[in-house]
Amino acid sequence: MVSLVLVDVLLQLISAVAVNIGEPFTDDLYWPALPQAVAATCIGVVRERCDESVLRSRTLVGRAFIYVMILGVNSVIFAVARFGKHRSVFVRDRRAGQSRFAYFLAAVVWDLVHIVRIGGVYLGIVYLIASPRGGFGWWLAAYLLTIFAASGLAYVVSLLVRYSRGATAVAVIAIVCASVTSGTTPSLDVVDGWGPLQLFWYLSHARWAVELFTILPVQQAANSARMAIAVDAAGFDLDNRATDLAVLAALGVAWRILAYMVMRWNDYNDARASRQSKKLH
C-alpha cells in the first residue's frame, strides 16, 4: 500500500513538472537579441530577454534537476523492491545448486523490461502535457538510461543493507545526496577547479542526466543563441548529447558489475558463517 502511494505521488510530481517544463524554454527566449542601444532601455526584470546577457542558469537547469531527482527516487524504490526483496528466492535456489551468475543475469534482463515500461509511462505523460522540443527517440533514451543508471545504485544498496525497508531509505538518501553533483549548485565550471574532488561529479548519474535534460530542448531549437549562452554559463556542453547517454549506460553497467561482486562477497560470508555454525553444534 505504501509503495502504491509513493508511486502515485511521484506520478503527480512528474505531471506537475511536465506542465512547467516548457517555461524556461518559451519561444521568446529564442528570438534574436535586440540591438544594444534598444536593449539598454529594457527594465531590469526583462533585460536578459532583450540582450545577449546570460540567462539565469538556475532557472535553465532547475526543471532538469527535478526531473532527474524524481526519476532517480522512483528508480531506486522500484529496484530495491524488485531486486533486494527477491533475494530470499535466490538464497533458497542457491542452496539447491543454482548458478549465482544465471540468477543475477536473469534478474537484470527482467528488470530491463520494467525499465522500458516505467520510462515509457513517464515520457508519455510529458509528451501529452508538455510536448518538449527534441526528438522523441532522444528523450526516450534519456529517460531509459537515467532510470538504468539510478537503479544500478539501488542494486548495490539492496545487497549491502539486508533489511528491505532500510535499503529503500538508504537508496533514496543516496539519490538525494547524488543530486549535489547535478551541476546546479555548485555549477560545473566551479567544480572544474576542485582537483580530484570533481571525480565524484563525473561518477554521478545526476551530473550527466541533468546536462542531457537541459541541452535536449535547446539543441533542437532553430534560434538558440541566447539559450546556448545560458547552457555554457551553467558549465554544460551542447554537443554532449551522445556522451551523456553513453556515460549513463556505462554507469548503469558499472553499478551492476559492482552489485554482482557484492553478491559473491555476501555468499562467501554466508557460507563461512554457516560452516562455523555447524562446527559449533
Q: Can the peptide bond before residue 186 be classed as cis, meaning omega within 30 degrees of 0?
A: yes
Residue 30 is given by DSSP the state: G
Task: Provide the pLDDT confidence category of residue 25 given band limits of 50, 70 and 90.
Answer: very low
Highest mean pLDDT among 64-73, 229-238, 239-248: 239-248
Task: Provide the pLDDT confidence category of residue 165 given band limits of 50, 70 and 90.
Answer: low
Lookup: cell for 163:
533489511
234 CB neighbour count, 10 Å cutoff: 25
Poorest-pLDDT segment among 1-15, 75-89, 173-187, 189-203: 1-15
Does residue 273 lie in a domain region?
yes
Does residue 202 lie in a domain region?
yes
Q: What mean pLDDT value characterizes the chain?
A: 75
Does residue 57 lie in a domain region?
no
For 146-174, what is the mean pLDDT?
84
For 210-223, what is the mean pLDDT?
73
Does residue 108 lie in a domain region?
yes
Structurally, the chain folds into a number of domains equal to: 1
Map grid coordinates 565524484 to a residue: 200
Q: What is the structure's pLDDT at 90? A: 66
Q: Which domain holds residue 96?
A: 2-19+63-280
Question: Is it the case that residue 55 has pLDDT exceeding 90?
Answer: no
Q: What is the structure's pLDDT at 243? A: 92
Question: Is it the case that residue 278 has pLDDT exceeding 50?
Answer: yes
Poorest-pLDDT segment among 217-221, 245-249, 258-262: 217-221
Does residue 123 lie in a domain region?
yes
* DSSP assignment string, 215-260: HHHHHT-SS-HHHHHHHHHTT--TT-HHHHHHHHHHHHHHHHHHHH
Instruction: State the Cα–Cα distance between residues 107 and 113, nearest whole angstrom.
Output: 10
Does residue 54 lie in a domain region?
no
Top-confidence residue, 96 or 8? 96
Does residue 9 lie in a domain region?
yes
Does residue 29 lie in a domain region?
no
Could you tell me if 61 and 210 are in contact, meaning their C-beta atoms sit under 8 angstroms apart?
yes
Task: Provide the pLDDT confidence category of residue 244 given band limits of 50, 70 and 90.
Answer: very high
Q: What is the structure's pLDDT at 188? A: 78
Q: What is the structure's pLDDT at 26? A: 46
Closest CA to 54 of 182, 235, 249, 233: 233
